[in-house]
Amino acid sequence: MDKHLAKLSKFLSLILRHKPQVIGLQLDANGWAEVEQLIELVNQHGIAVSQELLDAIVQKNTQERFTYNADRSKIRANQGHSLAVDLELVAEVPPTILFHGTATRFLSSIRTRGLLPGSRQHVHLAAEEIDAIRVGQRHGHPIVLTIQAEAMCRAGYQFYCSQNGVWLTEIVPPRYIEFPTHVGRSR
């Protein structure tokens, strides 16, 4: 994705996940925005966007952050909302293990409190270690934690898989987290 599309994608993440009011946009209860209204309001905000640019962002974003509804009249972020929205996710049985990428500076807190969603609705987990490494790199030197997802599920914790394959849960208690034995290596 080129720099212009990446910058626009980040702005859309802000709008569709956290602060639609920045441009005067109203999301519905399920996080959907009317495409025509989004384009109009983003343009009024001084950022040039067209249907073609929006299509490119939805199609080319490697993290698949956004999705259209069936008739492409609405768009929403797939996960990562700090707003209270119902993504209509159905609880699923997760893989035996999942991964979470973070940075060494957060390990002390995670050892004590577990993984918490912070300002978001869910803790984000990856099915593949490489994806967790990429996430961890955003925060500094990446550390990958192994999550005993199947054991959590058996204990009654619910898991959801977003449209772009990110696993979500409300919290991961420390007892279900395997920490790397050598900090400084990803695993």
pLDDT tens, per residue, the chain with 187 residues: 578 788 888 899 999 999 999 999 999 999 999 999 999 999 999 998 999 999 999 887 666 789 999 999 999 998 888 888 888 889 999 999 999 999 888 899 999 999 999 888 899 999 999 989 988 888 778 899 999 999 999 999 999 998 888 999 999 999 999 998 765 444 4
In 45-156, alpha helices (H): 51-60, 107-113, 129-137, 149-154
**Looking up tokens 């994608």, which residue turns up?**
9
Q: What is the pLDDT of residue 61?
A: 64
Domains within the chain, CATH numbers bracketed = 3-77 (1.10.10.970), 98-178 (3.20.170.30)
Distance CA 123, CA 15 (A): 20
For 137-155, give the DSSP string: HTTSSEEEEEE-HHHHHHT
Q: What is the pTM of this model?
A: 0.75
Distance CA 176, CA 113 (A): 11
Element of type H or E holding 68: strand 66-68
> Which residues are bridge partners to 125 per DSSP?
167
- Residues in CB range of 170: below 8 A, 6 or more apart: 117, 122, 123, 157, 158
Q: What is the pLDDT of residue 167?
A: 96
